[in-house]
Amino acid sequence: MSTAEPTIQVNPDDIAGMADAVPILCRLQDEDPVHWSPDGKAWMITRYDDVRAGFHDRRLGVSRPMPPAELFEPEFRDTYRAYASSLKTWMVIAEPPDHPRLRKLANRGLTPTAIEGLRPQIAELVDDLLAAMPDTGDVDFVKAFAYPLPASVIALLIGVPKSVLKDLHRWSDDIAKGLGAAGEDIIRPPAYAAAEMTAYLTEFIAERRKNPQDAIIDLLIAARDDDDTVTTEELIGNLILFLFAGHETTMNLLSNGLRTLIRHPEQMADLRRNLDDPEVVAGAVEEILRYDGALFMLTRFAAEDFEWHGRRISKGQKVYLYCLAANHDVRKFDDPGRFDIRRTDSKQHLAFGYGPHFCLGGPLARLEMEVALPPLLRRYAALSLPAGDVPWRNNMTLRGQPSMQLRLSKGVRT
């Protein structure tokens, strides 16, 4: 174990908007695997084994300190307090015993059968979005497809009508600003969005209790009312979490994935030849998750002082677990920089995290991508990326482009 000064300095903020942060993160793996960034005031963990261990290390907590309401202007304080108390119900930042209690409830709604049951409706959404796209020409793929699809799927999941979609989009955008978005007000937009969404869901759930239907929301309400260990406020908080956790992540997965396929024509050709083979499609999705994931890292807080690779982590410090770096660790994956949809080990990626907070929506995100890719590639025999790259979103956690120009053609395959 070395305690020598690091030969490299990396600030998480600087790599946030980078199209390819992987080489820098891989240098950290080699030179300083538990790296302290004085500017970012956080530890950066990059090796596969360490990131995976970090995900189920009880010394690394998920709950985070919130500033006192008195720090804000008086007219915002009530909204802020309500937001802080809603955040406390989110399982992703809840500690035991709350976390397993909340997760158990969610598991009763998001069962494999219920998720698989969404397949025909997702296929219909995909068809509608593709039908609205032009046959040829340039299109912003994020705006036309990658952004609306996951939001509509979350609407299906929560069971709200299509008329609420516009609001869902706005709430999702504003809530995402609370997560690592550099240079933006990270409190007010999510707090106001959470307040609006809570008000909407409170009424919606009351109505659904009177007139239950056959959707995942009804399973969740029934499960809650059944054993009464989770409050309706906690249920609402976690429905807001579903929107937040499942929208921009899946949007990034769709656009990152398509861009990567276009940039690897031999892999694209292999996939195109096998669109009827669910195993090949699923393999491509898994490799996209590994190679070009939707997230840089997940945040933890040290619950006590401890040593890691000779570095002294102090209680309360932030620790960033870089799943993107882990998925490119040469100690784990053979030739990790090679994008190969036939890899047999891609499934060991950490794109959905690991341990107690392992992504609850992984099967849904995979399903969306698996349903979307074949009709999309069938509709467009040739896809290309016009010259000139769009800047990446400047966000330390979410990894993707806010827009992605795509040249569509029904002509010769590329």
Least distance from ligand HEM to the Cβ atom of residue 258, Å:
13
Angle at 331 between CA 328 and CA 336, to 5 degrees: 30
Using the contact rule CB under 6 A, the part of the chain among 45-53, 141-149, 269-277, 345-353 near ligand HEM is 345-353
- By CB under 6 A, tell whether 103 contacts ligand HEM: yes
- By CB under 6 A, tell whether 249 contacts ligand HEM: yes
Using the contact rule CB under 6 A, the part of the chain among 119-127, 194-202, 348-356, 406-414 near ligand HEM is 348-356
- Nearest residue to 45 via CA among 335, 256, 57: 57
- 15 or 241: CB nearest ligand HEM: 241
Tokens representing 15? 């790599």
Least distance from ligand HEM to the Cβ atom of residue 363, Å:
9
Least distance from ligand HEM to the Cβ atom of residue 241, Å:
5
Residues 6+ away with beta carbon under 8 Å from 251: 142, 146, 147, 149, 150, 294, 400
- By CB under 6 A, tell whether 258 contacts ligand HEM: no
213/226 Cα distance (integer angstroms): 16
Instruction: Report 30-89 residues binding ligand HEM (CB under 6 A).
Output: 55, 62
Using the contact rule CB under 6 A, the part of the chain among 18-26, 162-170, 248-256, 324-332 near ligand HEM is 248-256
* C-alpha distances in Å from residue 223, one per residue of 180, 226, 229: 33, 5, 9
162/291 Cα distance (integer angstroms): 34
Q: In the stretch 274-313, what mask flags binding to ligand HEM with x, by CB under 6 A?
A: --------------------xx--x---------------
Number of H helices, E strands in the chain: 18, 10
Residue with tokens 């793929």: 141
Position among 158, 223, 245, 281 found at the interface with ligand HEM (CB under 6 A): 245
282/124 Cα distance (integer angstroms): 20
129/126 Cα distance (integer angstroms): 5
- By CB under 6 A, tell whether 336 contacts ligand HEM: no
- 255 or 267: CB nearest ligand HEM: 255
- 164 or 381: CB nearest ligand HEM: 164
- 29 or 172: CB nearest ligand HEM: 172
Residues 6+ away with beta carbon under 8 Å from 414: 262, 265, 268, 382, 383, 384
Q: In the stretch 350-369, what mask flags binding to ligand HEM with x, by CB under 6 A?
A: -xxx---x-xxx--xx----
Cβ atoms within 10 A of the Cβ of 197, count? 27
Residues that bind ligand HEM (rule: CB under 6 A) add up to a total of: 24
Using the contact rule CB under 6 A, the part of the chain among 3-11, 65-73, 185-193, 242-250 near ligand HEM is 242-250
Q: Which own/partner contact pairs does 138-142 have at CB distance under 8 Å and 24+ positions apart?
A: 138/386, 138/405, 138/406, 138/407, 138/408, 139/405, 139/406, 139/408, 140/403, 140/404, 140/405, 140/406, 141/255, 141/258, 141/404, 141/405, 141/406, 142/251, 142/255, 142/401, 142/402, 142/403, 142/404
- By CB under 6 A, tell whether 151 contacts ligand HEM: no
- My answer on whether omega of the bond before 68 falls inside 30° of 0, hence cis, is no
- 91 or 221: CB nearest ligand HEM: 91
- 91 or 219: CB nearest ligand HEM: 91
Q: Cβ-closest residue to ligand HEM?
A: 361
- 26 or 105: CB nearest ligand HEM: 105
Binding site for ligand HEM (CB under 6 A): 55, 62, 91-92, 103, 241-242, 245-246, 249-250, 253, 294-295, 298, 351-353, 357, 359-361, 364-365
